[in-house]
Amino acid sequence: MKKKLLTVLLLIILLLGFTGCGKKEQLKISNETKEKNYELKQINSDCNLENITFLNKDVIVAEGKVYLYADKKYSETDTHCKNAVTDNPNDNFVYLDNAHSSNYNHPESFTTDGNDFYYFDYDLNLKKQSDISNVSNILKNYRDNSFYYYSNGLEVTDKKIKYEYATEKDTYVNTPSDEKILYAIDYINGRGPFIITENNAYTLGVDKNDKCHEYEDVECTYVLKKTDIFDDLFKDFKNEIVYLSRDYLATKDNKMYKISFKLQ
């Protein structure tokens, strides 16, 4: 009888051991094959990315200089980059906004000191705009804030976020008072906007307890809500990022990438 009991106990222990191992292996495989929510494609470039402040499909601003870059090399430099032609003698350009250029193929706009406004003409030369009355408020906000971002209805300063939703009514939200803002992104795949600080990433949203969810005649109050959209990216690159936008990423090792997020 004792021998039978011992045999049964040994069989049970062995079966539990095999089951446990199987579970551990399953978890291990699951962790290893977890799909990231972003994809990168490295861009072939030998451009200077030192102190980069702006990057898109064919323009780079680094150390105050505006460069044009392309997949093929430019004959005049034998590199993928060349200086944009401008009538500004100083290299102190800062990307400003993308809503007020006369060239719709290259709508990027720039300032040098917050008192002037430059845009690309149709020959891709940077021209100073003589009448700045239509952008005077944007220039003032740039001068008055250490962080300033303006794009597609999203305006972010050190203290305030102003965003125009589909209702065409401006929404105002305070920025985190104890966190330095690094990047602002107007939208990704129809979602957003996003504010990225030294410690967190946020999006604008409505609190789940807001009364507008219950009452038709109560307007929603928007607040900053933490988001995990950038967690995979930050985990992989940690402190290597020097520039981040909706579509582009630049890192400390002088590499730049086209980035695409896969959002649910």
Does 22 have pLDDT greater than 80?
Answer: no
Residues 115 and 172 in one domain: no
Same domain flag for 187 and 134: no
Let me know whether 137 and 48 are in one domain.
yes
| Mean pLDDT (whole number) for 23-42 | 61
User: pLDDT: is 240 or 6 the higher one?
Assistant: 240
pLDDT at 99 over 60: no
pLDDT tens per residue across span 201-238? 999 888 888 898 889 898 888 889 999 999 999 999 98
Which of 63, 45, 74 shows the shortest CA–CA distance to 255?
45
Based on the fold, state whether residues 122 and 203 are members of the same structural domain: no
Residue 39 has a pLDDT of 93
Q: Residue 162's pLDDT is what?
A: 86
- Tell me the two tokens of residue 58: 């064919």
Number of domains in the chain: 2
pLDDT of residue 11: 54
212: number of Cβ within 10 Å = 13
Inside any domain, residue 33: no
Q: Which of 100, 115, 144 is the last residue of a domain?
A: 144
Residue 135 has pLDDT above 60, yes or no: yes
34 pLDDT tier (thresholds 50, 70, 90): low
- Do 52 and 137 lie in one domain? The reply is yes
158: Cβ contacts below 8 Å, ≥ 6 apart: 145, 146, 147, 175, 181
> Which pLDDT tens digit goes with each residue over 60-84?
999 888 999 888 889 999 989 899 8
Give the range of the structural domain holding residue 121, as residue numbers without chain letter: 38-144
Task: Please indicate, yes or no, if residue 171 is contained in any of the structural domains.
Answer: yes
Domain boundary among 144, 167, 193: 144
Q: Are residues 65 and 129 in the same domain?
A: yes
Q: Is residue 77 part of a domain?
A: yes
Q: How confident is the model at residue 25 (pLDDT cuts 50, 70, 90)?
A: very low
C-alpha distance from residue 22 to each of 15, 26, 31 (Å):
11, 6, 14
Same domain membership, residue 158 and residue 125: no
pLDDT greater than 60 at residue 180: yes
> Is residue 244's pLDDT more than 70?
yes
Residue whose token pair is 């985990």: 235
Is the pLDDT score of 91 beyond 50? yes
d(CA 190, CA 118): 29
Task: Report which residue type is found at 73.
Answer: K
Query: How far apart (Å, rounded) are the C-alpha atoms in residues 217 and 223?
Result: 19
The CA distance from 78 to 73, in Å, is 6
* Mean pLDDT value across residues 96-122: 77
**pLDDT confidence of residue 247:** 92
Q: Is residue 128 part of a domain?
A: yes
What integer best gives the mean pLDDT of the chain? 81
Provide the token pair at 107: 């709508």
Residue 13 predicted with pLDDT over 70: no
Lowest pLDDT segment from 40-54, 85-99, 150-164? 85-99
